[in-house]
Amino acid sequence: MGAHSHGTQVTPTDYDRATQSHYDFLGSFLGSSDKAKDAIFYSYTKHINGFAATLEEEVASKLSQHPKVVSVFLNRRSKLQTTRSWGFLGLENNGEVRASSLWNKARFGEDTIIGNLDTGVWPESKSFSDDKMGPILAKWRGICQNDSDHTFHCNRKLIGARYFNKGYVSAGGPLINSPRDKEGHGTHTLSTAGGNFVSGANIFGFGNGTAKGGSPRARVAAYKVCWPIGGCYDADMLAAFDVAIHDGVDVLSVSIAHDPIPLHEDSIAIGSFHAVRNGIVVVCAAGNSGPYAGTVGNVAPWQIAAAASTIDRQFPSYVILGNNTRFKGESLSDTSLLSKKKLFPLISARNAKAANAKAEDAELCIDRSLDPKIVKGKILVCLRGGIARVEKGVQAALAGAAGMVLANDRDSGNQISADAHVLPATHINYKDGLALFSYINSTMSPLARITNPTMKLGTKPAPVVAAFSSQGPNTITPEILKPDITAPGVSIIAAYTEAQGPAESDFDKRRVKFNSISGTSMSCPHIAGVVGLLKTLHPNWSPAAIKSAIMTTASTWDNTWKPIKDASDLQATPFSYGGGHVQPNRAMDPGLVYDLSTNDYLDFLCALGYNQTQIRLFSNNPYTCPSTPISLVNFNYPSITVPSLNGTITVTRKVKNVGTSSGIYYASVHCPPGVSVQIQPKTLKFESVEEEKVFKVVIQANKKKQGGKTGYVFGKLAWCDGEHYGEDILIAVITRDGLRPPSIRRLKFEFVLKMRTKEMAQKKAQDLDVGENEGGSGKKQQQLEKKKKKKKKKKKKKKKKKKKKKKKKPC
């Protein structure tokens, strides 16, 4: 997907010419332009140069071999992945916005335009009221696409809405011509990013307060690319990116993710590239495939990938057993058990399976797996997983359950969510779930009751990384840290559609104006909202500078002043939270930023193996790949990731002064265990704003084994001038004794070997040998390890005598 060479004064004729060029090009393969017109259902004419078409596999294969084609890929489907969270992030304190708040400094994101690729929008929501909004900006070129839905209206707040469904329809979906959101997801995410102030926002009376987005005075636009059941298709998303860039958005929030795939086959990465090239910041969901390693999506360096974590608010609801044991859960159920003190029979869903159902399906409370005769009148215990949490409640209610307890599986650990179930229900953690099942299995007539939810603020610890949040390392380019940042994404209350109930089922006849949802889909618009504020405050900052400011000022500590933990109560790592938990007020003044230009991103693509012709198609500006490809560890990212450290490596970074006109910054390093780090120089002196300085980081493995069971160790680098203290997370990923996940290097090779030039491909054998050594399976590596073991035995006795307890110190 290349770029168009339109001039500065673009006319409709230019767009028509681009479309005709697509017809002519495809027509040369199909036999005529008329056949091409029938096949093409999207012609991307504004910024992205490409098209979407229905083709035979043979034709697609021939297209992919053409020298002017960057990539050909299937129209894949991707998945969608508040009243308290902004206070938790420090933008307000008990409703008071202080003078030092980024909200105040950035005028609440005034006149920044935030676009949202999602399920559309419910325009009637008060979150999109244009109260106190001035005239629409002259730069806006978008439309309100309500040609088939005359009840849909935009205003000075919701300034645009479009729908893109041709990819969905081509895959067999029904034709729906409206940007109206009937699923709630897009309304929730867009209002989180840029919703207006709405007092008295709550769900069934819970979480009552003033709802607002991160940039409450921003203008917003909805791009509907995700459809019921069908999901979000590549062709539709690319069309939306192309049009959104043309419309004039400043920020794009994309709460969509898929499994990690090579960048040239990734529609979100391609669309994001063209957006960033035009100065638009793109924030994406990191994915909901955690807690497994290497699952993080949206890994392109020009995207901001947001992980999800908790806030300091809970909605406690207890399970009280017949023996008076209490388990604390969370819930937003609006119904109560008939008697608050009456005990009900308690049964595990596995023991209530229907005759022809699988026990594994029954324990997950999957549709038609439960026997109503067994379930009726009892409190049913469902195991987490398989289907949505609220859907389990629906299935329990359909089977006649009096209530439901949702118990976490091992992977979900302590991470629980407050959901608006259709029956009395609560959600408990893994440890309590084990105890509950033990009680059921050891008691003749197990009994229980569920208490009504309440609300508790200031809970600790928070944040905690959500169990579902996708994890690093980056399996496509391990040198780039992903995710980039974490933000609130658990039990987030925001605007919702009135076309369906909060349980997302026809069974649920309730309607709400606000709903509680969890996911990296929720953390993504939190970051987009912060980006909107930074765009207003610093309109000349590049997308990379804004990203750097957010990452380098983030916190890795929770509200108990201890390192952030994950859902299993273990210390989380940068592979869980990236730079850390976002701190908006600090992000407005980072002092230094790690900046990147379009050419830097093109250099990055060259290093991955794209040839000169393919690179030119990404940008219409003159560009030539460096004669020697850059080392990816030297890509000027606001973090340092070394995928395989054997011996010593020197990494280069460049910082730009965006703080005071002059200043001296001093380096401070906390070394990764078993690794020494030296900064050269240790002091950076700036004489003016925008001045740039280069420094080097010398990283050396000084022990035989680093990283323990995982193979990874982490440290921090910070530059401090007394006023600014930005932490640049330093990561040394050590690969010893086969500790590296094999998929990382394998996936990278699969991509690089496809795209590299012939000269670079000749190095394949050498690269593969390195891979063997990294995994500890090469012969030379085995011989070295044997020698090391002998030396280790000799020194062991001496070490025992000298061994003393030492405190960790900075390098």
Question: So where are the chain's domains?
Answer: 2-64, 77-312+462-590, 316-454, 597-626, 636-802
Cβ 244 vs Cβ 212: under 8 Å = no
Q: How far apart are CA 659 and CA 693, in angstroms?
A: 14
Strand, helix or coil for residue 379 = strand
Residue 249 has pLDDT above 90, yes or no: yes
pLDDT higher for 85 or 702?
85
CA 529, 532, 537: angle at the middle one, nearest 5? 135
Identify the pLDDT of residue 793: 52
Helix (H) or strand (E) holding 62: helix 57-64
C-alpha–C-alpha distance, residues 433 and 421, integer Å? 19
- Pick from 456, 468, 457: which is nearest to 317 by CA? 456
pLDDT averaged over the chain? 87
589 three-state secondary structure: coil
φ and ψ of 405, to 5 deg: -115, 125
Q: Is the pLDDT of residue 7 over 80?
A: no
pLDDT band at residue 748 under the 50/70/90 scheme: very low
**pLDDT number for residue 764:** 28
Name which of 157-161, 529-533, 738-742 the model is least confident about.
738-742
Could you say which DSSP state residue 2 is in? Answer: E
Residues that are catalytic: 118, 185, 521
- Mean pLDDT across the stretch 487-493? 97
Residue 95 CA, chain-centre distance (Å), reads 28
More confident of the two residues 138 and 173:
138
Q: Order across the sheet with 77-80: list the strands.
A: 226-227, 231-233, 77-80, 256-257
Q: Which two tokens stand for residue 744?
A: 């990382």
- At residue 113 the predicted structure's pLDDT band, cuts being 50, 70 and 90, is very high
Give residue 80's pLDDT band: very low, low, confident or very high (50, 70, 90). low
Identity of the amino acid at 453? P
Task: Take residue 732 and report the two structure tokens written for it.
Answer: 């040394």
**Listed ranges 31-45, 196-210, 421-435, 757-771; the one with the highest mean pLDDT:** 421-435
Q: State how beta strands 514-517 and 316-321 pair.
A: unpaired
Cα first-last separation, the chain: 46
pLDDT band for position 341 (50/70/90)? confident
3-state SS assignment for residue 423: coil
704 pLDDT more than 80: no
Q: pLDDT tens, 168-205?
A: 999 888 889 999 999 999 999 999 999 999 999 999 99
Distance CA 5, CA 620 (A): 5
621 against 674, higher pLDDT: 674
Question: Using one digit for the tens of pLDDT, what is the confidence trace for 648-702?
Answer: 999 999 999 998 888 999 999 998 888 999 999 999 999 999 999 999 999 998 8
480 contact partners, CB below 8 Å, separation of at least 6: 299, 301, 474, 632, 635, 637, 641
On the CB side of 607, how many CA atoms lie within 13 Å of its CA?
17
The yes-or-no verdict on residue 781 having pLDDT over 70 is: no
Structure tokens at 169: 């329809």
For residue 329, is pLDDT > 60?
A: yes
Q: Identify the pLDDT of residue 746.
A: 24
Q: Higher-confidence residue: 276 or 643?
A: 276
Predicted confidence (pLDDT) at residue 243 exceeds the cutoff of 90: yes
Q: Determine contact, residues 474/299, Cβ cutoff 8 Å.
A: yes
Mean pLDDT in residue range 68-84: 73
CB 517 within 8 A of CB 332: no
In CATH terms, the fold of domain 316-454 is Glucose Oxidase; domain 1 (3.50.30)
Q: Over 80: is that where the pLDDT of 227 sits? A: yes
Pairwise CA distance, residues 384 & 407, whole Å: 6
Per-residue model confidence (pLDDT) at position 35:
87
Q: Which of 607, 805, 576, 810 is nearest to 712 (CA)?
A: 576
Q: What whole-number distance in Å separates Cα of residue 332 and Cα of residue 9?
A: 54
Q: Which residue bears the tokens 């608050």?
A: 340
Confidence of residue 705 (pLDDT cuts 50, 70, 90): low
Percent of the chain's residues with pLDDT above 90: 69
Q: Average the pLDDT over 433-449 and give the result.
A: 98
Fold held by 636-802 = Immunoglobulin-like (2.60.40)
Q: Tell which CATH architecture fits domain 77-312+462-590.
A: 3-Layer(aba) Sandwich (3.40)
DSSP-assigned beta bridge partners for residue 316: 330
Specify the pairing of strand 725-733 against strand 640-642.
parallel
Residues above pLDDT 70, as percent of the chain: 86
How much is the pLDDT for 805?
A: 41
